[in-house]
A and B are shown apart, each in its own frame.
Chain A
Amino acid sequence: GDSVTQMEGPVTLSEEAFLTINCTYTATGYPSLFWYVQYPGEGLQLLLKATKADDKGSNKGFEATYRKETTSFHLEKGSVQVSDSAVYFCALSVRGTYKYIFGTGTRLKVLA
């Protein structure tokens, strides 16, 4: 069945460091891909999305490129801030039902 695999956390970085959170997927067909963020005490918020191969999603300095050949959708940010501390979830949307399959989440902690 469809699945999403995310790198385990926690990831601890200093402010202004480069961030990569790896995400790979297994899916039948061509799913849409998403990154959601969950700040402490808050609900899931969409961070960025991509619908087809080679699409790049971007928002708030974060980027991810839909790579069909490697079935990946890695999240990157060039310079993280303390305010980026949160849990990040990679997800795919199953064609037809559009239900989400989530990864287990990666906790990011950014130190000043």
Chain B
Amino acid sequence: DTGVSQDPRHKITKRGQNVTFRCDPISEHNRLYWYRQTLGQGPEFLTYFQNEAQLEKSRLLSDRFSAERPKGSFSTLEIQRTEQGDSAMYLCASSSLAGGLGEQFFGPGTRLTVL
């Protein structure tokens, strides 16, 4: 088990372009979460999946953002028509319902810079 992985680790894009990030959770984990962390702040919840179902989305997730988790395995987060305010670290975490506590394991993050 190699933990939660994210790809790419860094992404630089121009304003108006679309970007997609990938998260591979720990294999037996059925819950997957996306957070956004800006400089000097704590991570903020964006959305989460239980298996393939997206069960909650934050108001932070505008209609330019979309997330999927086909087949309940890896997940993708897409940002369309990027804006400079989207520059942040995007974190993925996974957890197991069986654990009860809901302890989340975090990936290394994808740092997005929008020029």
Hey, which chain B residues are within 8 Å of A91, CB to CB? 42
A51–B101 CA distance with the chains assembled, in angstroms: 7
Shortest distance from the beta carbon of A51 to any chain B beta carbon, whole Å: 6
Closest beta carbon of chain A to B88's beta carbon, Å: 14
Partner of B45, one of A36, A44, A101, A105: A101
Contact B103 A34 (CB under 8 A): yes
**Shortest beta-carbon distance, B79 to chain A, in Å?**
20
Bound-complex Cα distance A93 to B33 (A): 12
Nearest neighbor of B89 in chain A, beta-carbon distance? A43
Number of A-B contacts (CB under 8 A): 59
A32 interface residue, CB < 8 Å from B? yes
CB of A42 closer than 8 Å to a CB of B: yes
Q: Are A46 and B103 in contact (CB under 8 A)?
A: yes
Q: Mark A76-109, 1 if CB is under 8 A from B, else 0.
A: 0000000000000101010001111111110000
A42 to B41, CA, bound (A): 16
Q: B104 on the interface (CB 8 Å rule)? A: yes
Q: Is the CB of B45 within 8 A of A32?
A: no
A89–B42 CB distance below 8 A? yes
Looking across the interface, which residue of chain B has its beta carbon closest to that of A103?
B42
With A43-B91, A97-B56 as known contacts, state yes or no: A102 contacts B42, CB within 8 Å.
Answer: yes
Within 8 A of A (CB), among B68-108: 91, 93, 95, 101-108
Q: Is there contact, CB below 8 Å, between A44 and B48? A: no
- Chain B nearest CB, measured from A26 CB (Å): 15
Contact indicator A104/B108 (Cβ below 8 Å): no
**Interface residues, chain A, with chain B CB atoms under 8 Å away:** 4, 6, 32, 34, 36, 42-46, 49, 51, 89, 91, 93, 97-105
18 contacts between A and B (CB under 8 A): A4-B42, A32-B102, A36-B106, A43-B107, A44-B93, A45-B106, A49-B101, A93-B104, A97-B55, A98-B31, A98-B95, A99-B48, A100-B33, A100-B43, A102-B43, A104-B41, A104-B42, A105-B40
Contacts beyond the supplied A34-B103, A93-B102, A100-B45: 12 A-B pairs with Cβ under 8 Å = A43-B106, A44-B93, A97-B55, A98-B104, A99-B48, A99-B56, A100-B35, A100-B104, A104-B40, A104-B41, A105-B41, A105-B42
